[in-house]
Chain A
Amino acid sequence: MGSSRKTEIFVGAFVLLALLAFFVLAMNISNLGSLGSDKGYTVNAQFDNVGGLQPRAKVTLSGVSVGRVTGISYDKETFRAVVTMTINGGVDYLPSDTQASIYTSGLLGEQYISLEPGAEDEVLAEGSAVTLTQSAVVLEEIIGKLLVSFTTKD
């Protein structure tokens, strides 16, 4: 009995340790702790150019992460890119004239969406569209414009 009891105690401790490690992985290391069971709501935004934006990119509000890009597709009627993003359920106070812009974090970092709240009383809800958008900045375009402005000066 004694040795069997010891075995069981060790196995119990082993399983408990693994569960603890799993909890740490879920809550402290991955994003489950911050996003959690918060379902959130989806909004769409149309952009002329999404640049290098990827699904699962961050959606921020003054730099605070409030959601994620869930899908990027192309609208064949408006000839623009459609970005679907899920915003945390707690952030339900965004005015309907909120502006969405695609920025790059750092010089070579990845791209994310930044929201700038407008002034309307109506708020964004499930399925609504963000109409004011600013496309991603493409480096080649800027260089092209710079070159044009340099050459036309003379």
Chain B
Amino acid sequence: MILNFLQSIGAYVLDAFASLGRASLFLMQVLMGIKDVLLRPRLLIRELYSVGVLSLLIIVFSAIFVGMVLSLLGYVTLVDFGAESSLGVLVSLSLIRELGPVLSALLFSGRAGSALTAEIGLMKATEQLASMEMMAVDPIRRIVTPRFLAGFISLPLLTIIFMALGIYAGYLVGSVWLGVDEGSYWSQMQNKVEFWHDVVNGIIKSVVFGFVVTWIAVYQGYNAMPTSEGVSRATTNSVVYSALAVLGLDFILTAIMFI
């Protein structure tokens, strides 16, 4: 009875390590293909379109609403202390340090990561990957690496757009609607937001998230069971694991960067 219990724990842990090892080996193979992709940038540009440009709409939409809500709630609290001139600092620091990178990564894993997993998984289920191998085309280099690279490049760019738009939307609600002085909104922000300490660290966060989210997405797709149920499970796993990884890593990165 106890031995069975111990065995199930052991099997679970060993399984987890084995899949981590498989994912790392897979990542190695994907990274080895980068030079081939850079020699044929057409492939990369097509993926940048489907991963980056098509995610733009949801990123823009959420950035505007998150910025507006942040400004509205911040104003309600700050005005009690007569500190509503710090509204710009509140909105910009929360967006740059935390909400921009994290929300973009979560939205990105829902919009682009799941699509990558489903696409690659379906290619596997319909044996397109196997037929490529038959034609001596490496499916990892031809299919996976461009998608990985596109996701890795797109997320930081989307995050930067998220931050800038969110802060502007916060300005629209705070200054134009609620009447916080325009000068103090921008000038206090410029005084408090450090380029290297805040902006660059926020972008580093999003680079890490982009790496992890696309890694999980392409790995889940490539390792999906070649059935319709397998593809659906891989897509779910891709989004769930990405979200958990992003939130966990965010805590670690925040502890390293901003303490």
Contact = CB atoms under 8 A, between A and B. Distances in A.
Interface string A10-48: 110111011001101110111111100000000000000
B8 interface: no
Interface stretch (B9-17, B65-73, B123-131, B158-166): B158-166
Contacts of A10: 49, 53
A97 B163 CA distance: 44
B5 interface: no
Contacts of B157: 14-15, 18
A18 B199 contact: no
Contacts of B160: 18, 21-22, 25
Nearest to B52: A14
Interface stretch (B26-34, B185-193, B212-220, B239-247): B185-193
A11 B48 contact: yes
Interface in B156-200: 156-158, 160-161, 163-165, 167, 186, 189-191, 193-195, 197-199
Contacts of A58: 191
B145 interface: no
Contacts of B42: 4
Given A11-B53, A29-B92, A21 B165 contact: yes
**How many of chain B's residues touch chain A, expressed as a range?**
20 to 34
Among B46, B92, B190, the one with the most A-chain Cβ atoms within 10 Å of its Cβ is: B190
A30 B53 contact: no
Interface residues of A, number: 25
Nearest to A110: B192
Among B56, B96, B161, the one with the most A-chain Cβ atoms within 10 Å of its Cβ is: B161
A29 B190 contact: yes
A7 B49 contact: yes
A58 B187 CA distance: 13
B137 interface: no
Contacts of A28: 186, 190
A29 B164 contact: yes
B20 interface: no
B45 interface: yes
B195 A26 contact: yes
A22 B202 CA distance: 12
A31 B53 contact: no
A135 interface: no
A21 B163 contact: yes
B111 to A, nearest CB: 14
23 contacts: A4-B46, A8-B45, A10-B49, A10-B53, A13-B53, A14-B52, A14-B53, A15-B157, A17-B56, A17-B161, A18-B156, A18-B157, A21-B164, A22-B160, A25-B164, A30-B190, A30-B193, A30-B195, A30-B198, A31-B195, A32-B195, A56-B197, A65-B191
Interface of A: 4, 7-8, 10-11, 13-15, 17-18, 21-22, 24-26, 28-34, 56, 58, 65
Interface of B: 42, 45-46, 48-49, 52-53, 56, 92, 96, 156-158, 160-161, 163-165, 167, 186, 189-191, 193-195, 197-199
Given A11-B48, A34-B190, 19 more contacts: A4-B46, A7-B49, A8-B45, A13-B53, A14-B52, A14-B56, A18-B157, A21-B160, A24-B164, A25-B160, A25-B164, A26-B195, A26-B199, A29-B96, A29-B193, A30-B194, A56-B194, A56-B197, A58-B191
Closest 8 A/B residue pairs (Cβ): A18-B157, A21-B164, A30-B195, A32-B195, A30-B193, A7-B49, A21-B160, A21-B161
